[in-house]
Structure 1
């Protein structure tokens, strides 16, 4: 009966250690690296084996009976890795020497080392077998208990007759039963740990999903704001467009009606003046329609670019004819400078280049009340991607109202101006810069902007110099 008492004490000690290990695992090494977890497991099982020996039954001064092999059984199921099991077997065996170095201690060390190798061999079967965890556990418990009993008989520390007839009939079945009991308890611990890990993983996943949803919410809110702004800009565009269309249309309708009625009070000069106003209103209306058509063609990718020879020296003359009168009417100084190093010709689309420059100059005159406006044509070396390229640059500079830095990007977008009140104060639809920017890109160039609010603006059109001649 003393054997049974000690075995039950051993089982209680092991259960206590398992419970404490479970608590330590939860609150200390749950998130530790896998290698650290394995090291902790090896140390814990060796300590559990040593504790079994400490509370074991002393048959005489040197021989100790205990369940030191039970942690090795559990390790075979928990970590079926040969090297780890050999370490546990040899380590537990060496722990026996802490109770004194003698024949029984050496035999105990050899016994646990052999059991470590046996469990290492069984680990290959555990990993490959399709049997249930219960069948695997029962098989390992039976084999380890049997090998342990055979080792005791083989080493002969206890007389064979005494062990086989007096000790083994009690210790062998007790070892089997208590090993199974402990394995079941550890299995419950293991299942609880697995559930906790699953809960932690689920919590992490939920946290990640919550964070992702929060990010998506921010993105959606930002997109909603952008849509609201786009809707607002388009509403303002439609309002501006209706005003811009109504003004020339009203002039055309009213004046043409007066002419149609052949009012005798109208002099010939008045008739000519009305005709000029109708003509100018028609041109303004045509320009608006052309802007809208150009924008729709660019967005649809259907705008054709005709690359041909552009006489750069003719550009100043053409623009001077158009804008000198406007400069005199507004009392502004208008200068055009063509640098000597600029090539005579440039391969590009003459119509689209003039359209861009007219847009830029029209804006300059529109937003400048006093001061000057200048167009400077020059050559500049500027890096494009990984290579340096030469560009013909058309600088349009004015001393007008300027543009705030935070608006420098917005003004190149369709339907937008630096300020919604600008359209009401100065007129326009907000399409000119957007179309000019798209056209510059189609021509292989780009437009840059330097401006300070209240201190004027500098728009620069860059066109590549490839295919030019001097």
Structure 2
């Protein structure tokens, strides 16, 4: 009867230890790294075994009966790690030496060490078998209790006949029953811990989702703002486009109507003048349509460039023929310089290079009321990785209205200008710089801008040598 009392007391103590451990786990080491959790479990199991020995039943001065092997059973079921189970078994066994060094204590150390290795072997089966947790628990409980009885029979100091006939019939069934009861209680604790962990993870997941939703909301708001701006820019572009189309079309229609209805009432000089205006208006329309087509080809990825020999020395002469008269009409100084170190021939697309330079020079002349417009062609070296790379640079500089710093990136986007009022004052669709930037990239180069509002602008086209 004393065995049953002590075993029940051991179980009650273990339940108390398990409850305290459950609280510590919830509030202190739930988020700890896995090695810390395993180390904490090992220490707790050894401590629980020591508590069982401390409150065990003393058969005589040296022999103690208790359920010290119970933490080892629970560890095998809950944390089936072979090395940890060996440490727990040996640790509980060594804790028996605290209560005195004698033959019974040595037998106790040997018993728990053997049980530790037995549980380590069982842990391999526990981790691999598809059986339910209840089946695993029953087999582990029976194996450990039976092995404990065998060890006491073989290594114990109690006479074999006395142990088998008087003690074993009571302690073995009691140990099995209380082991199963404690396993059920620990299983309930474990389920509660799992639910706690799941709740914590669910909260973390919800927080992460809420944060992600907030970020997505910001992104969507930004995209909505960009769409509104794009819609506004396109509306302005269409308004500008209608104006740019209407002006030359009206000139062509009105002047051709005058010529048609003149009944030879117009002089030769008037017809020639009207014809010239019609020709210029047609050229303006063609240039506008070409810009729109080029933009659509670039956006569709279908604009091809042809790399061939480009005679750089011919560029100043060609551009001078096109822009000198326009500069004189506005009273501007127009200069083109070509550095001596610039190679006479480079490999690029002559048509596209001239198109970019015409766009840059046209803008410079358009937005410069007095002062100068210049084109300087030179060679520069820039570091690219560990080496230097050589570039030919076409610098278009003017003393015009300049561009505010916050508009430097905007003006290279399609349908956009530094100020929507500019298109009304100076004309234009806002496509020239966008097309020029895209063409420069297709040629392997790029365009840079240096400008301050009211202090002129410097556009630089870099092409690789």
TM-score (norm. length: structure 1): 0.93
Question: Quick check: 1:217 aligned with 2:217?
Answer: yes
Listed as ranges, the matches of 1:395-434 within 5 Å are: 395-434=395-434
Moved over 6 A (4+): none
For residues 59 and 155 of structure 1, the distance between their equivalents in structure 2, rounded to whole angstroms, comes to 16
Describe the SS at the equivalent of 1:460.
strand
1:443 counterpart residue number: 443
* Offset from partner CA, 1:136-160 (integer Å, 9 cap, x none): 2222222222222233233352233
For residues 314 and 442 of structure 1, the distance between their equivalents in structure 2, rounded to whole angstroms, comes to 22
For residues 80 and 234 of structure 2, the distance between their equivalents in structure 1, rounded to whole angstroms, comes to 69
Compute the displacement of 1:344 (Å).
Answer: 3.0
Q: Which runs of 5+ in 2 are unaligned?
A: none
Question: Quick check: 1:392 aligned with 2:392?
Answer: yes
Classify 1:178/1:304 alpha carbon distance in 2 versus 1 (closer, same or farther; 3 Å).
Answer: closer
1:283 counterpart residue number: 283
Question: Quick check: 1:97 aligned with 2:97?
Answer: yes
* Offset from partner CA, 1:191-219 (integer Å, 9 cap, x none): 11122222222222232233223222222
Of residues 58-67 and 34-43 in structure 1, the stretch that sits farther from structure 2 once superposed is 58-67
For residues 310 and 104 of structure 2, the distance between their equivalents in structure 1, rounded to whole angstroms, comes to 107
Compute the displacement of 1:222 (Å).
Answer: 2.2
For residues 357 and 215 of structure 2, the distance between their equivalents in structure 1, rounded to whole angstroms, comes to 43
Question: Quick check: 1:453 aligned with 2:458?
Answer: no
Q: Which runs of 5+ in 1 are unaligned?
A: 466-470
For residues 249 and 179 of structure 2, the distance between their equivalents in structure 1, rounded to whole angstroms, comes to 101
Contact 2:107/2:156 (8 A) holds in 1 = no
1:42 counterpart residue number: 42
Classify 1:159/1:338 alpha carbon distance in 2 versus 1 (closer, same or farther; 3 Å).
Answer: closer
Listed as ranges, the matches of 1:181-330 within 5 Å are: 181-262=181-262, 268-330=268-330
For residues 121 and 400 of structure 2, the distance between their equivalents in structure 1, rounded to whole angstroms, comes to 89
For residues 267 and 298 of structure 1, the distance between their equivalents in structure 2, rounded to whole angstroms, comes to 46
Contact 2:87/2:116 (8 A) holds in 1 = yes
Of residues 256-265 and 399-408 in structure 1, the stretch that sits farther from structure 2 once superposed is 256-265
Describe the SS at the equivalent of 1:171.
helix
- Aligned-residue CA RMSD (Å): 2.1
For residues 65 and 41 of structure 1, the distance between their equivalents in structure 2, rounded to whole angstroms, comes to 24
Describe the SS at the equivalent of 1:313.
helix
Aligned residues, how many?
465
For residues 307 and 124 of structure 1, the distance between their equivalents in structure 2, rounded to whole angstroms, comes to 70
Of residues 225-234 and 210-219 in structure 1, the stretch that sits farther from structure 2 once superposed is 210-219
TM-score (norm. length: structure 2): 0.93
